[in-house]
Structure 1
C-alpha cells in the first residue's frame, strides 16, 4: 500500500506538475523488478514511462537513484516523483516570441505574458509556451531529440491569464531537483495582485483546501474544513490601498490551481477583472455613472485577472546556491494601478 495516495481529480488540482508517491516494501517482499513493482501500484503507469522516470532519477530507493533492473527487497522505501502533465501526442515547434528572463546550462526562466497557455491540452494544441520552447531549443540545437520536446523540463505552471515568471529544466538532473523543491514547497514564489475591497488587516494567512467545484468542473473552490481538495496556504500583505481595491503581495506556501484567485475570493476580495471568480464586475463602491465608467475603463485596460508572478527563487540544480529572479509588472496592470492612484487623489481633493 502507498503511504501517500491521491485521486486523479486532486492530482490535477495543482500548479506543481510533479507529485510524490511513497511505497514501503514489507518484510515478506520477494525480489521483484522495480518497474513491475510500481506498475502494480500506480494507476495508469506504463512500463515505458516508469523506465524513463527511473533513468531520469525520479525514482529513489532508500534515498538513492537506481537502475531499471533493480529488484525491490524487504523494507525498501521507494519514492516516485510522478509527472502529472497531461499526455499529448506531439508538441509542434512554433516560432513564438518568448521573453527569456534568464538561461544557463540547467534552467530557462521565462517571463510568460498573460493570455499564453503553458502546455498543450484540450482546445489548446498550438500557440503554447511549450510550442515556443520546442522551437527555441531546436534553433539552438538542431539535433535535439524530438522525443525530448514534449513537456520538456516543465515542473510547474501558471494560469493562462496570469503573467510572470516560470522555470523550465534543461536536464534530467535539473528536472528532478526542481521537482523535489516544488513538492517540498521550498521554492520562493511571490505574486502581485489587485483585489477588490479594502482589507481589514495589513497582513494575514489564508488556510483552506482548494479543490474542484463539485458542480462546475472548470471552477475551483475553497474548503476551509478540509473536506475536499488539497491543503493550500497563502500569505499576503497589503502594499497599497485605493479605497475600493487593494494592491497586495501574495506568497505561496503551496501551489494549487487557481490558489490565490480562490483564496482571495474566499475572504471576500476577488481579484480585479477575474471573470471566473466574480471580479469582472463592480464589487465595491457605489455604482454611479462616473465611477462605473472609470471601472469599465480599467476593465478595458486589464481584461484579465490582475495577477502577476513577480518573484521566483530556488536552489540551483548545479551550484547548490539560492538564486532569485524578479520581473516588473506588465503594462496592463501598471496602467490600471496608476489609474486607481489617480482616482484616489481625486477623491481626496473632493
Structure 2
C-alpha cells in the first residue's frame, strides 16, 4: 500500500462519495427502499444504508425518502454511496490539529504534510480521523465515534500534500458537502512547484486517471481515456524560475494523485515527488554547485511541493458561500524563496 493510504475501490478518488443511479423495471413490486438497496449495492449494510437515507443521500424520483418508503415500477433511485473504508476502527487519539473554521455543521482543517487522512492498511493510528474522533468526543462524550468520522469525511488529500480539508459535523451537513463535491461546485486551488519551464502561461489537462496497469500502487494519466475515470485540471503559471515553475492548479474533478500524474503527463513532474520521480534533477545541467543547490532544496522539502491553498463551498445549512485560504507551509515557502534567489543571482552574473 502506498503512503497515501489508497482505499479498496479500483479507480480511487479523493472525493469519497460516488453517485449510483438505479432504475426499477416494469415488474418491480412495492418493496422497502432500504432492503432493496441492500440487495443492489455491493458490501452495503442496512445500517449504512439507513444512515444514508436519513442524511438525504438517497432520492427516489428526485425526492428524499424514509427507510420504509416502498419503491415501485419505473422509479429512478439515486444513491450517493460512501467509499471510505468501514472495516477498520477509528481509535480516538489526542493530537494537535489546526482548525481554520468550525461551527455546529462543518469544520475546516489545515492538514500538515506527513499526516494520513483516514486509517487503512499500514496506517492504523496517527491519522487525521483519529485526532478528529478524539476532538469530537471531548465536545460530546456520547458521540458514536465509529459513525461520525466516516460520514463526516467527504474528501481527502494525499499524506504528503498539505492544506485545507472540510468535514461535516452531522450527517445532513456531510451529505450536502458530498453532493457539492460530486457536482464540482466546490472551489479548490492548489499551489505547486513543478519541474521545467512551462511553455504556456495557462492551460487545461484532460486525461483519465486510474491505477497503473503494471504497478497497482501507482496511478497513471490516460489521455485517450482507455482506463480510469475522467479527470480535468486547470493550471496557471504564477512565477518562473527557469528550471522549475510555480503554478496554481484548479481541480474540476478529484481523482487520487490527479495533479501529480497530470503534471507528469505534460512533462512537469512535481518538485520533490518521490513517488513519480520528482526527487532528482529533471531540468538543468548536473554540475556540482547546481546539484548541491537542488539537494538542499529537496532536503528542506522532502515531499511533493503541493499545497491545497484555497477551499470554497456553500454552507450546508445557511447556503452562504464560504472561502478559506491557508498560508504556504514553511518547507515549501523556503524552497520557493531559495529558487527565487537562485534565479535572481544567476541573472546578475
Question: Structure 2: how far apart are the matches of 1:193 and 1:29?
Answer: 52
Q: 220-229 or 67-76, which moves further after superposition?
A: 67-76
Give the gaps of 5 or more residues in structure 2: 1-7
Query: How far off its partner does 1:149 sit?
Result: 4.0
Question: Structure 2: how far apart are the matches of 1:317 and 1:191?
Answer: 23
SS of equivalent residue, structure 1 residue 271: coil
* TM-score w.r.t. length of structure 2: 0.96
SS of equivalent residue, structure 1 residue 40: helix
CA contact (8 A) 2:59 2:77 kept: yes
Please give the residue correspondences for 1:157-236 in structure 2 after superposition, counting only pairs within 5 Å.
157-236=156-235
Equivalent residue number for residue 69 of structure 1: 68
Question: Structure 1: how far apart are the matches of 2:71 and 2:85?
Answer: 29
SS of equivalent residue, structure 1 residue 257: coil
Q: 151-160 or 48-57, which moves further after superposition?
A: 48-57
SS of equivalent residue, structure 1 residue 283: coil
Equivalent residue number for residue 120 of structure 2: 121
Would you say how many aligned residue pairs link Structure 1 and Structure 2? Answer: 342
Question: Structure 1: how far apart are the matches of 2:151 and 2:129?
Answer: 7
Question: Structure 2: how far apart are the matches of 1:206 and 1:132?
Answer: 35
1:174-221, CA deviations, whole angstroms, 9 ceiling, x for partnerless residues?
111101011111110000000000000000000000000011111100
Query: How far off its partner does 1:306 sit?
Result: 0.1
* TM-score w.r.t. length of structure 1: 0.95
* Residues 1:52 and 2:51 are matched in the alignment: yes
Equivalent residue number for residue 332 of structure 2: 333
Equivalent residue number for residue 4 of structure 2: none
Equivalent residue number for residue 273 of structure 1: 272
Question: Structure 2: how far apart are the matches of 1:250 and 1:285?
Answer: 24
Query: How far off its partner does 1:32 sit?
Result: 1.2
Query: How far off its partner does 1:152 sit?
Result: 4.7
Q: 316-325 or 302-311, which moves further after superposition?
A: 316-325
CA contact (8 A) 1:237 1:249 kept: yes
Q: 267-276 or 52-61, which moves further after superposition?
A: 52-61
Question: Structure 2: how far apart are the matches of 1:128 and 1:66?
Answer: 35
Give the gaps of 5 or more residues in structure 1: 1-6
Equivalent residue number for residue 3 of structure 2: none
Query: How far off its partner does 1:74 sit?
Result: 1.7
Cα 1:106–1:305, aligned 2, differ >3 Å: closer, same or farther?
A: same
